[in-house]
A = this chain, B = another copy of it.
Amino acid sequence: MMDPFQAHCEMEVTLAVISGKWKADIVQILSDGTPRRYGFFQKILPEVTPKILTNQLRELENAGILTRAIYPEVPVRVEYQLTEAGTGLLPILEALEIWAQSYTKKIR
């Protein structure tokens, strides 16, 4: 991830947070508030390899977008959930989606 604090303009902080091949997908999967487990992401995103999935999750965690809760049961359970900051991202992602839709219509 690009260092958000050497961005030229503020908005690049946000871009830095959600730029990452699978981050938008991950945030969207968590968008309904339900805590989700590692295997759930693998099921929804079958193309992402474990290493990459872990990497993207960790970067979002470090950015404060989601939390990672470990329940030391047997077998172990790990749950990911959006933080308040992550939830604040949702309207923006929706705006990105809406713009993309009208854009695709015009360009394609």
The chain A residues found within 8 Å of chain B, CB to CB, are 5, 8-15, 17-19, 22, 24-25, 28, 45, 63-64, 85, 88-89, 91-97, 99-104, 106-108
Contact = CB atoms under 8 A, between A and B. Distances in A.
Contact of A88 (B18, B25, B102): B102
A interface, over-half SS: helix
Contacts of A91: 95
Given A92-B95, A95-B92, A106-B64, A11 B85 contact: no
A15 to B, nearest CB: 7
A14 B92 contact: no
B95 A17 contact: no
B13 A25 contact: no
